[in-house]
Amino acid sequence: MLSLSRLSFERSAFVMRTAGVFYCSVLPLLSYRSSVYSVIRSLPWVKRRVKADLERARREIEEEVHQYDQKRDFYKFLPEHPLNPEELLSEARQYAAMGERRYMEHYDPRSRNQDLSLCAKIYDLFSHSDPHRSDAFPGARKMEAEILRMTLSMFHGGAEAGGVVAGGGTEATLLACLAYRNRAWARGMYRPEIVAPSTAHPALDKAASLFGMTIKRVPVREDDRVHAAAVKRAIGPHTCMIVASAPNHITGTVDPIEKLSEVAQRFGVPLHIDCTLGGFLLPFMEYCDYSIPTFDFRLPGVSSIAIDLHRYGQAPRSCSVLMYRDQAMMRHQCFCNSDWAGGVYATPTLAGGRDGGAVATAWATLLGKGRDGYINACQRVVETTRRLADLLSDIEGITLRGAADLCIVAFETTLGDIYVLVDFMTTKGWHVDPLLSPEAARVPITLRMCEEGVLEAFVEDVIEGLRYLNENPTKTTKTSAFYHMLQTVRFNLLRKGRDGYINACQRVVETTRRLADLLSDIEGITLRGAADLCIVAFETTLGDIYVLVDFMTTKVCTSVVCFCRQLHSYLQGWHVDPLLSPEAARVPITLRMCEEGVLEAFVEDVIEGLRYLNENPTKTTKTSAFYHMLQTVRFNLLSSLDEKTVLRE
């Protein structure tokens, strides 16, 4: 019974080892394919075609970017003489008019102009200031501290909470990822991983690229919310943070933060909440009698929250806040160099100097709006969002995506190409964003959309756009062509990756079994193991197997195919590994071994090596000397253990 268990264990270990080699053999397919594509792209006629396509795309993008610019005249050099204030204001007004949208026709600009006029005056007072230089600009530093304290109180931060004012939502996300990466490094975790829903903001991918992290995207459910159980399954030994969106930037749904908080607590992983889109509405929804699950620091698993002040906080761009439950996390985020010749250099954000004017206008906006102002804005935005969702759902051929209960309405259509509809709405002056997955469109609800008559005009244009789709079923626009190309490439990559992986598996297994058959036909060669997956192990009775291993390592494959395709690798010789117990050799079958002519060349060199053994029976090499020494030491240790066992008995 004991021997059977030991045999089962050894076989299991062998399977695990061979499986590891198998994956190592198959996974280089991706890099191999990429290298082939690189070679193809370097061909002259391909480069010319790609260059022409890129130039055409550049012209189309330039035309789209400047479609609202009637003059098409640019300042390319500094003017010889300064422009007077009247000329500057006239030019600036023309630039500002380029971005006018149709909802401006229904917008009463008086209240907004009053806000901007006040912000302009306050910005003028602090336009030269830098909160980083707190000794020179203590007022800007105090404003920054008050912004942080006000937002912390909105999100129920405790006495130990802290944070920083950043230059935008992306920077706030980057800083959170940097802090959790450094925290992971301090704990000896050198491959930190982010676990985030597939709908989370791509700033996380940017952080992973900048900071040497990896990101694991978790698919969302049909309601575009991530499943807590899926996040739990995605957590591994290298997970340094979990991310949730409140709401997400795709369809505006809020992830189940309460359940994710429980998961984060259970596994001891920090949970970061991305509230950079509509998060400024959430704290005031309770005052508007909207039921909403808990999402902030009242949940013990929530470690940090990022929020934008320039979206629904209504501050001028661009200002955001990153908040931590425990301000001790700041030490993982801040950079400090005390060895610089100029003195100590320390920064809490990615930037060194910061815009004191942006901080001052954000501070003024918070105080100028007050709680009542934000409650009123929240009421208007949420009501408009839900009203637009109801209006669109009543249109035949329109299907909503997501909950549409906060600040985004996403929809798709069965009446034609949704991207053609997006371009149609853009020509009408509306701000409608295309979505890649699913193929849909989204409408962010701003305060301007809440003005009287705007929603009705929008819905009328949607209905007109659907009629346009019906009359032009084969119509293609730049957006539709580009997004369908992305969909095709995405699908082809997935399909090719799957098909290529299956094909690679089949080639490796077939090559393994074919090599086993060829070697078993050679006199003096005996196979070890099954040789039915990705390794062929063998021994010989014609001489020292380790001398044969060194002989094969020094051989160079002279096959023309091998030489052309894998010159560098095969100039290094065959990859044959020595085994200690039994005294044998093994050949891992890689995709390179599956190339035409490689197997035959390998077998020819094995036969030549056996002849070499026969002609040099006393030959010794470094490998043979080393492995025979190991065998002797191993035998002596076993003998010593046996003697001690006998004496003990």
**Helix, strand, or coil here: 14?**
helix
Checking if the pLDDT of 506 tops 90, the result is no
Please give the class, per CATH, of domain 158-354.
alpha beta
The CATH architecture one would assign to domain 372-480 is Alpha-Beta Complex (3.90)
Residues 123 and 317 sit within 8 Å (Cβ to Cβ): no
In 3D space, the residue among 342, 282, 328, 338 whose CA is nearest the CA of residue 306 turns out to be 282
Q: What percent of the chain has pLDDT over 70?
A: 80
pLDDT of residue 103: 54
DSSP 8-state secondary structure symbol assigned to residue 255? P
CA distance 314 to 369: 9
CA distance 322 to 99: 30
pLDDT of residue 213: 96
Residue 454 CB neighbour total at 10 angstroms: 22
Checking if the pLDDT of 104 tops 60, the result is no
Checking if the pLDDT of 490 tops 80, the result is no
Residues 26 and 440 sit within 8 Å (Cβ to Cβ): no
CA distance 321 to 146: 11
Rounded average pLDDT over 401-428: 90
- Can you name the residues that pair with 412 across neighbouring β-strands? 399
pLDDT of residue 645: 53
CA distance 114 to 585: 83
Which comes out higher in pLDDT, residue 145 or 494?
Answer: 145
CA distance 522 to 552: 16
Q: Where are the domains of the chain?
A: 13-35+499-636, 158-354, 372-480
Q: What percent of the chain has pLDDT over 90?
A: 46
pLDDT of residue 436: 85
DSSP 8-state secondary structure symbol assigned to residue 254? P
> What confidence tier does 481 reach under pLDDT thresholds 50, 70, 90?
low
Rounded average pLDDT over 8-12: 39
DSSP assignments along 440-505, one per residue: EEEEE--GGGGSTTHHHHHHHHHHHHHHHHHH-TT---HHHHHHHHHHHHHHHHHHHHHHHHHHHH
> What confidence tier does 28 reach under pLDDT thresholds 50, 70, 90?
very low
Three-class HEC string of 217-238? EECECCCCCECHHHHHHHCCCC
Dihedral angle, C-alpha 11, 16, 18, 24, nearest 10 °: 180
Q: What is the pLDDT of residues 361-406, one digit of tens each?
A: 999 999 999 999 999 999 999 999 999 999 999 999 999 998 888 9
CA distance 245 to 271: 11
> What confidence tier does 133 reach under pLDDT thresholds 50, 70, 90?
confident
Summary mean pLDDT of the chain:
82
> What confidence tier does 156 reach under pLDDT thresholds 50, 70, 90?
very high
Checking if the pLDDT of 184 tops 60, the result is yes
Checking if the pLDDT of 140 tops 50, the result is yes
User: Strands 239-245 and 320-324, how do they pair?
Assistant: unpaired
Q: What is the pLDDT of residues 449-470, one digit of tens each?
A: 898 899 999 999 999 999 999 8
In 3D space, the residue among 302, 263, 359 whose CA is nearest the CA of residue 158 turns out to be 302
Rounded average pLDDT over 425-444: 88
> What confidence tier does 641 reach under pLDDT thresholds 50, 70, 90?
low
Rounded average pLDDT over 605-628: 89
Listed range (98-112, 261-275, 334-348, 396-410) with the worst mean pLDDT = 98-112
Element spanning 258, H or E: helix 257-267
Provide φ and ψ at 434, rounded to 5°: -80, 145
Domain range 13-35+499-636, its CATH number among 3.30.930.10, 3.40.1710.10, 3.40.50.300, 3.90.1150.10: 3.90.1150.10
**Helix, strand, or coil here: 378?**
helix
Same fold, 13-35+499-636 and 372-480: yes
Among 117-121, 503-507, 634-638, name the most confident range: 117-121
Rounded average pLDDT over 85-89: 84
pLDDT of residue 35: 55
Listed range (63-67, 277-281, 296-300) with the worst mean pLDDT = 63-67
pLDDT of residue 632: 80
Tokens encoding 68: 């609202």
DSSP 8-state secondary structure symbol assigned to residue 106? G
Checking if the pLDDT of 281 tops 50, the result is yes
Checking if the pLDDT of 648 tops 70, the result is no
Give the Å distances, CA to CA, from 638 to 88, 579, 641: 92, 19, 5
Which comes out higher in pLDDT, residue 16 or 282?
Answer: 282
pLDDT of residue 69: 67
Give the Å distances, CA to CA, from 27 to 463, 576, 590: 50, 20, 10
Among 38-52, 245-259, 584-598, name the most confident range: 245-259
Element spanning 257, H or E: helix 257-267
pLDDT of residue 109: 47
pLDDT of residue 37: 55
Which comes out higher in pLDDT, residue 26 or 228?
Answer: 228
Residue 494 CB neighbour total at 10 angstroms: 10
pLDDT of residue 639: 61
Rounded average pLDDT over 151-180: 95
Tokens encoding 461: 């244009």
Rounded average pLDDT over 492-505: 59
